[in-house]
């Protein structure tokens, strides 16, 4: 394999990239670092630093308590309304609140309580574990109508068990809940097909969009999806642990009860009535006072995606993940790397997981001496995330060539097999 | 009443104040503004702006995902451990997470589930309404063992109904939960006495410390308190909506189950096991990924309180609230203001509520033309918060003199009776 023509080709792809200029809108203080973990924590938009400084100095420091009435109070639905445009939802169907896990608890429990005659939750073993833990918690408290979870196994650890999921749907099924794009393999479900099948069985569907929002086309309304949650710190570039979003289809909003019935969901909350009487719309699924600084930090990243347009973002994502897949095939497969993601971009999100028998040690070498930041997911996944707003084709090529260097020169051998906590 | 000697006296008190220098550690960009709402949103510590800029530019922007292992991951217990020192708790008994409402849901439901043979929650009508709403939500989901809430009324809307609460405690009582310092009148419960009485009845106690943390002495351990929650955005100066804290007495930690069982409470969370297996200690009451920027912003404010020392802070709080009470008696009572707070500082937090038949309109005049920011709580409370780290005696005097001007010159008459949403 001759490498120098390849970097020339990658640079040519970058020159042709209509989104290339967006990279300059992010803080990139170390141009030698290849960051392929935007699917865990998106980069910092430059506008966010300025936006936060205003929120801190002028809004908190200067306007103090008055800022609640001057904008903070409506931030959850205002930013939610913008995220809705990335998800094919109405502005009044999305709100920002809490964490993905807390929102999942609220919506899953509300869905169960709305259907006390149904006792089954269906999910799969590709779902993000926190979702499974939360579902266990939901079943633990939903004592009036004991509920159990059916975890459908993936046939290969990569693809979603679509047929088995649909087969498991029955008239005892209250809820089908899946990660739309799964966290390890990047497999992406057909939202419309799964949702339609669940509705035929009379069940509700709750999508976790954490790995989808801002990277792949999502059309909640056209799929007629009931419920969704997702985080804002991956492809939305909202900042570490930034508050999550939740979506409730409009007709469900008045039928569902928020079990975490806090004052931010109360109608006329400053009347301080002793009895809970929720707001009419999506705000009823708010709970406590939102973390304003982390909340405000979400907006500039969402604005960048709206400016770029999800069609363009997804088109580039497909081009870059396909480029990476072809490079894997040509350069890395001969080195013992295997593809832990679907081959078909229609079945994939915006990351590619590469497996290798020495995956953990290779990943360590990549980070420690190759200036490439992927992340690692047990047992053997080196996860390479493509964030189309700032990932370049040259970076994809360079990461592949460095992986090749690590294996061809056996640079990983100096690293320990012992695994540490990594995010 | 001659006013000019009074301002001289107030300035003399400020000169004698050993905490006076702490005021310069906060952003005060408008020296004419008298801010008496630090009990709703504490001022911005100057160090917080710098701290956040580091968190944004260097940790998020520069170190990116690596920052999780370089400090973010342990922030909840590290800052919790510092807050513990303000509350008379052990460092491993306090953690920062979610909102006060979400934490209350977790702890109250866990307490009920630990005592399925007891079916009653006791609280009072002085409690913060969000706490009551959350308790209603807790009862709504705790279906296995139906629970009801007994709301004990205050005899006068100011003082806690201590005797009636103790009388209501019986062998069906699972939980007694109260605001330690109540939000309207500022009444402060005797934590040790209530806790001891509840324990005699075999019940657990959960304190909401939102209006107490950082303003009054709290000694959770010596009171043998079971559980507590509280916010960090009032006297802790943690920033708007900053994440809340929760306290679980050490021996309860292994006995209680977090119903919001998310991955941040999972043991070895990066093993991504499909089954929830919680951490041994306080971290098991974490749920989702924390909002790091809002979380990090808490620390400098807590550090200021630790530096000042809670004894000194409380001593000044008592002096200032007593000063305000005496000024009310001398200057404002003749103008029709009445005291909606306890007279005895031992029964009080760090704010004083003044009532007036024209309270709402007076409050509007105070904000609109007198450069004083209190807050207003239905139906007639002008709430004046003393934050000893930055409130001066001169500000207290000036606020009182302006209230006097508003009523003596009937300046409030131009304001509407119509009430708007205010925080």
pLDDT digits (tens, 9 = 90+) for A49-105: 999 999 999 999 999 999 999 999 999 999 999 999 999 999 999 999 999 999 999
Least confident window among A277-291, B22-36, B130-144, B352-366: B130-144
Least confident window among A393-407, B60-74, B130-144, B148-162: B130-144
Task: Please state which of the four CATH numbers 3.90.1150.10, 3.55.30.10, 1.10.472.10, 3.40.190.10 is assigned to the domain occupying A4-31+309-414.
Answer: 3.90.1150.10
Q: Which residues of A touch B125 (CB under 8 A)?
A: 274
Q: What is the pLDDT of residue A423?
A: 44
Q: What is the pLDDT of residue A141?
A: 87
The shortest C-alpha distance from B5 to chain A (Å) reads: 31
Q: Give B93 or A419, the one with higher predicted confidence.
A: B93
Would you say B210 and B234 are in contact if contact means Cβ atoms under 8 Å apart?
yes
pTM over 0.90: yes
- Which listed residue (A43, A118, A184, A234) is catalytic? A234
Q: Is 90 exceeded by the pLDDT of residue B1?
A: no
Q: What is the pLDDT of residue B422?
A: 45
Residues of chain B with CATH 3.90.1150.10: 4-31+309-414
Q: What is the pLDDT of residue B259?
A: 96
C-beta neighbour count of B1 within 10 angstroms: 9
Q: What is the pLDDT of residues B302-334, one digit of tens each?
A: 999 999 999 999 999 999 999 999 999 999 999
Q: What is the pLDDT of residue A145?
A: 72
**What is the average pLDDT across A219-224?**
98
- Which listed residue (A383, A393, A412, A415) is catalytic? A383
Q: What is the pLDDT of residue A378?
A: 87
> Are B132 and A275 an interchain contact pair (Cβ–Cβ within 8 Å)?
yes
Q: How many residues does chain B have?
A: 423
Interface size, chain A vs chain B, as Cβ–Cβ contacts under 8 Å:
322
> Are A240 and B67 an interchain contact pair (Cβ–Cβ within 8 Å)?
yes
Percent of residues, chain A, with pLDDT higher than 90: 92
Q: Is 60 exceeded by the pLDDT of residue A5?
A: yes
Residue B208 known to be catalytic: yes
Q: Quick one: which of B70, B369, B277 has its CA closest to A420?
A: B70
- Which listed residue (A37, A124, A208, A380) is catalytic? A208
- Which listed residue (B22, B383, B412, B415) is catalytic? B383
Residue A383 known to be catalytic: yes
**What is the average pLDDT across B86-109?**
98
Residues 6+ apart with CB under 8 A from B295: A241, A291, A294, B75, B76, B79, B96, B242, B243
Residue A410 known to be catalytic: no
- Which listed residue (B118, B120, B234, B361) is catalytic? B234
Q: What is the pLDDT of residues A300-331, one digit of tens each?
A: 999 999 999 999 999 999 999 999 999 999 99
Quickly state the pLDDT bin for B378 (edges 50, 70, 90).
confident
b/e A175-196 (16+ beta carbons within 10 angstroms → b): bbbbbbbbbbbbbbbebeebbe
Q: What is the pLDDT of residues B148-206, one digit of tens each?
A: 999 999 999 999 999 999 999 999 999 999 999 999 999 999 999 999 999 999 999 99
> Are B291 and A294 an interchain contact pair (Cβ–Cβ within 8 Å)?
yes
Phi-psi region of B309 (alpha: psi -120 to 50; beta: other; left: phi over 0): left
Alpha carbon distance A73, A58 (integer Å):
16
> Are A266 and B98 an interchain contact pair (Cβ–Cβ within 8 Å)?
no
**Cβ burial, residue A346 (10 Å; 0-12/13-18/19+):** exposed
C-beta neighbour count of A345 within 10 angstroms: 18
Q: Which residue in chain A is spatially nearest to B153 when comparing CA positions?
A: A274
Q: Which residues of B touch A258 (CB under 8 A)?
A: 137
Q: Is 70 exceeded by the pLDDT of residue A191?
A: yes
Q: What is the widest separation between alpha-carbon atoms in chain A?
A: 74
Q: Is 50 exceeded by the pLDDT of residue A216?
A: yes
- Which among B243, B270, B378 has the least Cβ separation from residue A422? B270
The CA-atom distances, in angstroms, between B109 and each of A196, B119, B257 are: 36, 12, 9
- Which among B137, B258, B262 has the least Cβ separation from residue A261? B137
Residues of chain A with CATH 3.40.640.10: 49-307
- Give me A235's structure tokens: 């492809």
Per CATH, which fold does A49-307 belong to? 3.40.640
Q: What is the pLDDT of residue A2?
A: 57
Q: Is 90 exceeded by the pLDDT of residue A142?
A: no
Q: What is the pLDDT of residues A99-138, one digit of tens each?
A: 999 999 999 999 999 999 999 999 999 999 999 999 999 9
Would you say A136 and B261 are in contact if contact means Cβ atoms under 8 Å apart?
yes
The CA-atom distances, in angstroms, between B18 and each of B26, B300, B301 are: 16, 20, 18
Q: Is 80 exceeded by the pLDDT of residue A183?
A: yes
Q: Which residue in chain A is spatially nearest to B37 when comparing CA positions?
A: A65
Quickly state the pLDDT bin for A417 (edges 50, 70, 90).
confident
Residue A124 known to be catalytic: no
The shortest C-alpha distance from A280 to chain B (Å) reads: 16
Q: Which residues of A touch B106 (CB under 8 A)?
A: none
> Are A263 and B105 an interchain contact pair (Cβ–Cβ within 8 Å)?
no
**What is the average pLDDT across B20-36?**
96
Q: What is the pLDDT of residue B418?
A: 78
Q: What is the pLDDT of residue B423?
A: 44
């Amino acid at each position: 394999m001759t490498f120098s023509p390849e970097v020339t080709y990658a640079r040519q792809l970058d020159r042709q990239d209509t989104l290339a200029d967006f990279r300059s809108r992010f803080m990139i203080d170390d141009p030698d670092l290849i960051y392929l973990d935007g699917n865990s924590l998106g980069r910092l938009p430059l506008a966010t630093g300025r936006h936060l400084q205003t929120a801190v100095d002028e809004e908190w420091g200067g306007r103090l308590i008055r800022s609640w009435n001057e904008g903070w109070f409506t931030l959850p639905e205002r930013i939610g309304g913008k995220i809705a445009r990335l998800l094919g939802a109405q502005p009044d169907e999305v709100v920002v609140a809490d964490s993905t896990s807390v929102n999942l608890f609220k919506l899953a429990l509300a869905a169960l309580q709305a259907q006390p005659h149904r006792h089954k939750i269906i999910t799969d073993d590709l779902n993000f574990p926190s979702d499974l833990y939360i579902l266990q918690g939901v079943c633990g408290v939903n004592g009036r109508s004991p509920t159990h979870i059916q975890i459908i196994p993936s046939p290969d650890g990569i693809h979603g068990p679509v047929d088995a999921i649909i087969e498991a749907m029955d008239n005892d099924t209250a809820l089908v809940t899946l990660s739309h794009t799964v966290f390890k393999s990047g497999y992406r479900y057909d939202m419309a097909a799964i949702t339609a099948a669940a509705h035929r069985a009379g069940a509700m569907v709750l999508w976790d969009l954490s790995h989808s929002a801002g990277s792949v086309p999502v059309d909640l309304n056209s799929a007629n999806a009931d419920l969704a949650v997702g985080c804002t710190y991956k492809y939305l570039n909202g900042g570490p642990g930034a508050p999550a979003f939740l979506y409730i289809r409009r007709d469900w909003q008045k039928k569902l009860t928020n079990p975490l019935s806090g004052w931010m969901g109360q109608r006329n909350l400053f009347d301080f009535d002793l009895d809970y009487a929720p707001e009419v719309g999506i705000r009823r699924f708010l709970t406590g006072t939102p973390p304003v600084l982390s909340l405000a930090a979400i907006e500039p990243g969402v604005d960048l995606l709206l400016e770029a347009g999800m069609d363009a973002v997804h088109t580039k994502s497909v081009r870059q993940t396909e480029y990476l897949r072809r490079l894997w095939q040509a350069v890395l497969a001969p080195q013992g790397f295997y593809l832990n993601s679907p081959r078909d971009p229609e079945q994939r999100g915006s990351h590619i997981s590469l497996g290798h028998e020495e995956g953990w040690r290779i990943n360590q070498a990549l980070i420690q001496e190759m200036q490439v930041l992927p992340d690692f997911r047990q047992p053997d996944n080196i996860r390479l995330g493509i964030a189309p707003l700032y990932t370049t084709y040259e970076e994809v090529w360079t990461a592949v060539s460095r992986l090749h260097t690590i294996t061809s020169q056996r640079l990983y051998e100096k690293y320990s097999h012992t695994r540490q906590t990594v995010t």
